[in-house]
Amino acid sequence: MSVEVRRTPLHYEAYLDGRRVGELAYARSGAVVTAFHTEVDPAAEGKGIGGILARRFLDDAREAGDRVVALCPFVKGWIARHPDYADLVVR
């Protein structure tokens, strides 16, 4: 399984075999990025697509030196399960 992630100014989009199967909606304000919503096509659930999107979003934030606000329940839960990303979260 090969998942491609594309970043746009408002979304991280996941593609599986060329078909868009998920997105993570975000917004930027200065050096703070806010994750609002993650959605995965029901046919692609259980394949780790949401986690791939969350990891890419957070890795990009780390690389840019940004801080993260996780309003999205999925991203918030993903960070809780991967505490090595907790340092990015605005408290």
* Confidence band, pLDDT 50/70/90 cuts, at residue 1: confident
Q: Give the end-to-end CA distance of the chain in Å, rounded to a whole number.
A: 36
Percentage of residues in the chain having pLDDT higher than 70: 100
* Confidence band, pLDDT 50/70/90 cuts, at residue 25: very high
3-state secondary structure of 58: helix
Q: Comparing 19 with 1, which gets the higher pLDDT?
A: 19
Strands (DSSP E) contained in the chain are: 3-7, 11-16, 19-29, 32-40, 67-70
Domains in the chain (CATH in brackets) are 3-88 (3.40.630.30)
* Confidence band, pLDDT 50/70/90 cuts, at residue 36: very high
Side by side, the strands of the sheet bearing 32-40 are 3-7, 11-16, 19-29, 32-40, 67-70
